[in-house]
Amino acid sequence: MCKSYTIFLICNENSYYADFAKNIKAIAKVRTIWDSVPAQLAKENKRFLYSDMKQGSRGREYETALQWLKDTGLVYMLNRVSLPKTPLIAYRELSIFKLYMPDIGLLSARTGLNPKVYIGNDTFTHYKGVLAEQFVLQELLAANDTAPVYYWATEKNTAEIEFILQYENAIIPTEVKSGKNIRSESLKMYKKLFEPKTVIRSSLNEYSCNNGNYEIPLYMMGKLYEFLSSAFEPGE
């Protein structure tokens, strides 16, 4: 990594920390949450755990700090739903959630990733999935910022669907893959349990649609709601 890029990252981090200090008294707790997000997203189970920030940490100690980060748009919270049924808000679990950055560029900068790592690097695989999720989430929010986004996972996290959306009266499971390998045991389990009529999968593969199963390239996810509006009749 070049020296100038490293200096940019340090300055960028310090500017955020300085802003924290000007706007909130609980700066230490804000910084602890903020610094924890990239590492928590790297876990196999991306559920945000206070104990992963600092041993013995409890949610009630960080409520004000987390609310400030959410209100300022510096993190986006995704609650888990216990059941992917209408209305989703009735099944959200307030104490179980994931935290994402507001922007893929910011997440990349916070992890110190040089943009060159994305190109022709076969060893860069695991965190590429995290970045794909971050990208799709911000595209969904930009396309329709009034539509809440949730996620689904089993109690023991043996299966997870990255995003659960509600469109009209339908629940839309949305899976994200960072490459062209789209094999998924999680989606297979979800289909078996809930028999969804419409499934979205976003990856590097080309667009296709087969019996309600939509394959949508990552770069087209900003148009998802346009696809859905053409697939559903009003009130369906």
Nearest Cα residue to 219 out of 204, 199, 201, 209: 204
pTM of the predicted structure, to 2 decimals: 0.85
90 in a domain, yes or no? yes
The residue that leads in pLDDT, 18 or 197, is: 197
Q: Does a structural domain hold residue 118?
A: yes
Residue 218 lies in a domain: yes
Q: What is the pLDDT of residues 91-144, one digit of tens each?
A: 999 999 999 999 998 898 888 877 676 666 655 567 888 999 999 999 999 999
Q: Is residue 68 part of a domain?
A: yes
Closest by alpha carbon to 41, among 145, 113, 144?
113
Range from 22-31, 138-147, 222-231 carrying the lowest mean pLDDT: 22-31
Q: Is 232 exposed, middle or buried (0-12, 13-18, 19+ CB in 10 A)?
A: middle
**Is 161 within a domain?**
yes
How many domains does the chain divide into?
A: 1
pLDDT digits (tens, 9 = 90+) for 147-196: 899 999 999 889 999 999 999 889 999 999 988 888 889 999 999 999 99
Asked whether residue 189 is domain-assigned, the answer is yes
Domain that holds residue 154: 3-231
Instruction: Give a yes or no: residue 236 inside a domain.
Output: no
Q: Is residue 207 part of a domain?
A: yes
Q: Are 205 and 180 in contact (CB under 8 A)?
A: yes
